Amino acid sequence: MAATVGTVLWGGFAIGAAFGAVAQRSNFCTMGALSDIVNMNHWGRARMWLLAVAVAIAGATALHASGQVNLAQSIYRRGASLPWLSLLVGGTLFGIGMTLAGGCANKNLLRLGGGSVRSLVVLAFMAISAYMTLKGLFGQWRASWLDPVAVRLEGTPLQDATLGQALGALSGLGAASATLAAAAVLVLALVVFCFKDARFRRNRLQVASGITLGALIVAAWYLSGHLGYGENPETLETVYFATNTRTLESLSFVAPTAFSLELLMLWTDKALHPTLGIASLLGVIVGAALVAWRMKAFRWEGFASIGDLKTQLVGAVLMGFGGVTALGCTVGQGMSGVSTLAIGSFIALAGIVAGSVATLKFLLWRAERE
């Protein structure tokens, strides 16, 4: 068991470090990509992100189809209902929050690796908000008002709410064939959209980064869902080792900040242990820091003003609540979640994009008026 836990933790750290290094080098940022589109009609970074999504979907679907992992056990697909309101509201609030905070959880981790004290404060407030949404006051609001509004799957053709199951119900295809067909169509559409732009095709850094980031999502699924899956010698149960959700996971950066904070505050509590999420989060910071040092871009950075501080802290709180309520962030849902083809992940992602774009347009309108 110790060897398996160590494999998951060190593997998660290595995957996180690679993710942080590549993202830092390529300036990967979903909020930045949306800002480029809204403000400059430039799709370069968006295409890099969508290429990563295509690779993640292709790889995750291949792992599931070959029996290497069981994505139906992931939090994105597990459950007898589709809590659409939580996913949509959480995603929208996360999108608003990441725009106010100048970047999502991943971007703030990258900035922290580059020396941003501002991002450390943002991440701390996001972690507190996320923890309150998991186990505190915000969690009571989420459980009472949002989670009960859901579509029940019992009595429907959907065993779990995925694009593959939906296609199978509409077309009469078997579940496996429908899943492969849905994944193939989506991947092909994303790849065509990305590479039809000559400018993007010539940008080797963005192309290579998109492929690599998507592959790292797949690697995390394999790590937790295959290498980290085995028999617990104490209980003789087959379990997923070293994950906070007790099931297979890929990269996600909101809830792990809360679990990291909990572990640091309750370090002597023997019931708490490092997990894949915590290890990968630390890896992202280290990988980003190494690239920042190598590129001589490391510099200490604080808040520009009190107004800037207030705005970013509001954004951090919204990201913490929204990220937990939506079951993930721009990476957790926007890459890991959608790679499982879960309908809920696409709902959450739509909320994130809508919230961010609306906030970007509002900020632009306000700046033009001033």
DSSP track, 272-290: ----HHHHHHHHHHHHHHH
Q: How confident is the model at residue 234, as a pLDDT? A: 80
Q: How confident is the model at residue 155, as a pLDDT? A: 80
Would the pLDDT of 1 be above 80?
Answer: no
Tokens found for residue 24 = 């830092």
Question: Across residues 119-140, what is the average pLDDT?
Answer: 98
Q: Where are the beta strands (DSSP E) in the chain?
A: 81-82, 151-152, 229-231, 238-240
Where residue 355 falls among pLDDT bands split at 50, 70, 90? very high
pLDDT tens-digit profile of 12-42?
999 999 999 999 999 999 999 999 999 999 9
Q: How confident is the model at residue 242, as a pLDDT? A: 97
pLDDT tens-digit profile of 32-76?
999 999 999 999 999 999 999 999 999 999 999 999 999 999 999
Predicted structure pTM score: 0.97
Would the pLDDT of 358 be above 80?
Answer: yes
**Contact, 34 vs 104, CB < 8 A?**
no
pLDDT tens-digit profile of 224-246?
999 999 988 888 789 999 999 99
Instruction: Name the helix (H) or strand (E) containing 137.
Output: helix 137-141
**Contact, 38 vs 360, CB < 8 A?**
yes
DSSP assignment letter at 249 = -
Q: How confident is the model at residue 67, as a pLDDT? A: 97
Q: Mean pLDDT across the chain, nearest whole number?
A: 96
Question: Across residues 281-307, what is the average pLDDT?
Answer: 96
Would the pLDDT of 337 be above 80?
Answer: yes
Residue for token digits 């501002």?
A: 118
**Contact, 353 vs 139, CB < 8 A?**
no
Question: Across residues 77-87, what is the average pLDDT?
Answer: 93
Q: Dihedrals φ, ψ of 42, to 5°? A: -110, 125
Q: How many Å apart are CA 58 and CA 135, to the nearest integer?
A: 35
Q: How confident is the model at residue 253, as a pLDDT? A: 98
Where residue 154 falls among pLDDT bands split at 50, 70, 90? confident
Evaluated on CA atoms 190, 175, 347, 31, the torsion sign reads negative
Q: How confident is the model at residue 156, as a pLDDT? A: 82
User: How would you classify the pairing of strands 81-82 and 238-240?
Assistant: unpaired
Q: How confident is the model at residue 163, as a pLDDT? A: 96
Question: Across residues 293-310, what is the average pLDDT?
Answer: 94
Q: How confident is the model at residue 205, as a pLDDT? A: 98
